[in-house]
Chain A
Amino acid sequence: MIQMKNVVKKYPNGVVAANGISIDIKKGEFVYVVGPSGAGKSTFIKLMYREEKPTSGDVIIAGINLSTLKKRQVPYLRRQLGVVFQDFKLLPRLNVYENVAFALEVIEENPKEIRKRVMEVLDLVGLKHKVRMFPDELSGGEQQRVSIARSIVNKPKVVIADEPTGNLDPETSWEIMNIFEEINTRGTTIIMATHNREIVNTIRKRVIAIEGGLIVRDVFGGDYGYEG
């Protein structure tokens, strides 16, 4: 599903955030990406949805080689993925329903189907009763659930999450994790960068540790491995 081959990412300011990363993630896997701040986690994630382009090496997602992907094809790649961020990235002027529906309007889905699918995913994340509310009227956990609903509404093969629980209290974080697990059991591949030791150590999954732009550890069912 996701392959990286000798990926190097050098930023214009000289920082080397990826220094020859190779990885193979299979369909339906649940992968944590851990590591200290500034180790290259975010770059690793950004390379997958083509916010950053590798300086050299190949990134292949669902059969698409991102290194040769043309700029105007990027939107079509992103429709194959769901992306969840630490800061939710909801459209502030759209309500819950519209935020989720946006991902389907973009692919010009028909309105009936949009309505059906949006209500389905909002039901899945437990926000069916708040469809008309705006992001600033919701708690952090609720906003993140909207963002997750948006990321899965067009049935992506992969969901990429960059510290999705980073801004949430522990209890809410567990609720969010339950949703991710639910999505994963339905067959969606999940890549999640996280700092949350408790979660990684409790919900055991494959753990990839990145330090200094390199993968230093790759263990199935591993633990967080860093001191809190």
Chain B
Amino acid sequence: MYSEVTTAMKGRTIRRHFRESIKSIGRNGWMTLASISAVTVTLLLVGVFTIIMMNLNKVADDIENDVEIKVLIDIIADPTQAKTAEDKLMSEIKGLSGVNEAVYSSKEHELDLLIEDYGEDLSLFEQSNPLNNVIYVKAKDPQKTASVAKQITKLENVNDVKYGEGKVEKLFNVLNTSRNVGLVLILGLLFTAIFLISNTIRITIIARKDEIEIMKLVGATNSFVRIPFVLEGMWLGILGSIIPIAVVSIVYVNIFNILQPKLHGELLQLLDVTPLLYQVNALILVMGILIGIWGSFMSVRKFLKV
């Protein structure tokens, strides 16, 4: 007799569901094509946009990491005293929790750098060098550069601390804003993708609502009706992500190969192909599958109440 025992689904029933879902993809022809196209177009947008945003984000990170603090050391006449004072200051700076790295640069080296930038005219200063010895400091978190600089100011034998006060804060503001805008755009795009894909799937399922009703009338349980549809959604997601993955990979590899040699030594750098494409392609595939499954699940649910 009828019992509540639904128990575990038999293995052959699970195989049947897989078989049915694949068969259905073939037999639904145009509807399948429509769904796959929707998945393809939106995932392509998502992929391209993600790659652009991740690269912009890298540029922002690179710019941030380029920010450093220049610590001018007091001029001390006695060389031995100067040496101990500078060593002490160096170890104090390195002891600060927010400091990532500290590099010493003598005043002679500093002058060489200036001469490099401004020309031999400055070489007459080599007789009496007016510059200070310097320690360059990078903060662990570039955004906290100002507070690290403040801590260094309080240390002994520090003449001055420069990190582009005012400018750095503005730069960080711009970078943060652009990151947030990018994030919002990506989220908006994801939302659109979910909406568009699940709506297309919904339309194809509405076209088959009679089928669902008939299955229920013959005594199919909800899960028996639902599982093939959900699996079909999964296939649609997988099939729909093939073209985006191929296009994104081929285009990015080509762009990378063309641009990367020209950017050699510049601050602006592209993200390497290997981790980036794996990440973005995984994102595309997983999104396709999840949205396909979710869209089918939600659409079928509506028609199960027969």
- A64, A76, A83, A111: the one contacting B217 at CB < 8 Å is A83
Partner pick for B215 among A49, A80, A91, CB 8 A cutoff: A91
Closest to B16 in A: A105
Per-residue B-contact encoding for A25-54, CB less than 8 Å = 1, 0 else: 000000000000000000000000101000
Given A93-B28, A106-B220, A106-B224, check contact A76 B3 (CB 8 Å): yes
Are the C-beta atoms of B2 and A102 separated by less than 8 Å?
Answer: no
Q: B213 to chain A: which residues have CB within 8 Å? A: 89
Within 8 A of A (CB), among B216-237: 216-222, 224
Whether B10 contacts A108 by the Cβ 8 Å rule is yes
A91 to chain B, nearest CB (A): 5
CA distance A91 to B225 in the complex (A): 13
Q: What residue in chain B is nearest A107 (Cβ atoms)?
A: B219
**Range for the number of chain B residues in contact with chain A:** 20 to 34
Which residues of B7-58 are within 8 A (CB) of A? 9-10, 12-13, 16, 24, 27-28
Interchain CA distance A77-B1 in the complex, whole Å: 9
A75 contacts B by Cβ under 8 Å: yes
- Given A106-B218, A111-B12, decide whether A79 and B28 contact each other with a Cβ distance below 8 A: no
Cβ of B306 < 8 Å from any Cβ of A?
yes
* Residue of B10, B12, B211, B218 touching A150 (CB-CB under 8 A): B218
Q: Are A93 and B3 in contact (CB under 8 A)?
A: no
* A143–chain B nearest beta-carbon distance, Å: 13
Asked whether B13 lies within 8 Å of A76 as measured between CB atoms, the reply is no
**Is B122 an interface residue, CB under 8 A from the partner?**
no
Bound complex: CA A80 to CA B219 (Å): 9
Q: Which residue of B lies closest to A51 (CB)?
A: B306
- In the complex, what residue of chain A is closest to B211 when comparing beta carbons? A91
Q: Which of A72, A89, A111 touches B221 (beta carbons < 8 Å)?
A: A72
Proximity bits, A67-96, B CB within 8 Å = 1, else 0: 000001101111110010000011111000
Q: Least Cβ distance of B235 to chain A in Å? A: 16
Q: B4 an interface residue at 8 Å Cβ cutoff?
A: yes
Q: Are B12 and A92 in contact (CB under 8 A)?
A: no
Chain A nearest CB, measured from B125 CB (Å)? 88
Complex: A111 Cα to B12 Cα, angstroms: 9
Shortest beta-carbon distance, B9 to chain A, in Å? 8
At the interface, yes or no: A152 with Cβ under 8 Å from chain B? Answer: no
B213, closest chain A residue (CB): A89
> Are B219 and A93 in contact, with the CB atoms below 8 A?
no
Asked whether any CB of chain A lies closer than 8 Å to the CB of B214, the reply is yes
Closest to A89 in B: B214
Which residue of A63, A75, A90, A111 is within 8 Å of B219 (Cβ)? A75
- Chain B residues positioned under 8 Å from A83 (CB to CB): 217-218
- The reply to whether A78 and B3 contact each other, CB–CB distance below 8 Å, is no
Assess whether A4 is interfacial by the CB under 8 Å rule.
no
Q: Determine which of A92, A108, A150 lies in contact with B13 in the assembled complex, contact meaning CB atoms within 8 Å.
A: A108
**Contact call A93/B24, Cβ cutoff below 8 A:** yes
Instruction: Name the distance in Å between A105's Cβ and chain B's nearest Cβ.
Output: 6
Closest Cβ neighbor of A83 among chain B residues: B217
Give A102-158 interface residues, CB cut-off 8 Å to B: 102-103, 105-108, 110-111, 150
Per the bound structure, the CA–CA distance linking A49 and B216 in Å amounts to 11
**Is B224 a contact of A49 with CB atoms below 8 Å?**
no
The residues of B that contact A89 with a CB separation of less than 8 Å are: 210, 213-214, 217
Output the least CB separation between B29 and chain A (Å): 10
Docked Cα-Cα span, A72 to B224, in Å, equals 12
Q: Considering the chains assembled together, what is the distance between the CA atoms of A117 and B2 in angstroms? A: 20
Chain A residues in 8 Å Cβ range of B218: 78, 83, 102-103, 106, 150
Q: Nearest 8 CB-CB pairs, A to B?
A: A76-B2, A78-B219, A79-B219, A106-B220, A75-B221, A93-B27, A75-B219, A89-B214
* 25 A–B contacts, CB within 8 A, in A order: A51-B306, A63-B1, A64-B2, A73-B4, A75-B216, A75-B220, A76-B4, A77-B219, A78-B216, A79-B219, A83-B217, A83-B218, A89-B214, A89-B217, A92-B210, A93-B28, A103-B218, A106-B215, A106-B218, A106-B219, A107-B219, A108-B9, A108-B10, A108-B13, A110-B12
Given contacts A63-B1, A78-B216, 9 further A-B contacts (CB under 8 A): A73-B2, A75-B222, A78-B218, A80-B1, A89-B214, A93-B24, A105-B13, A106-B224, A150-B218
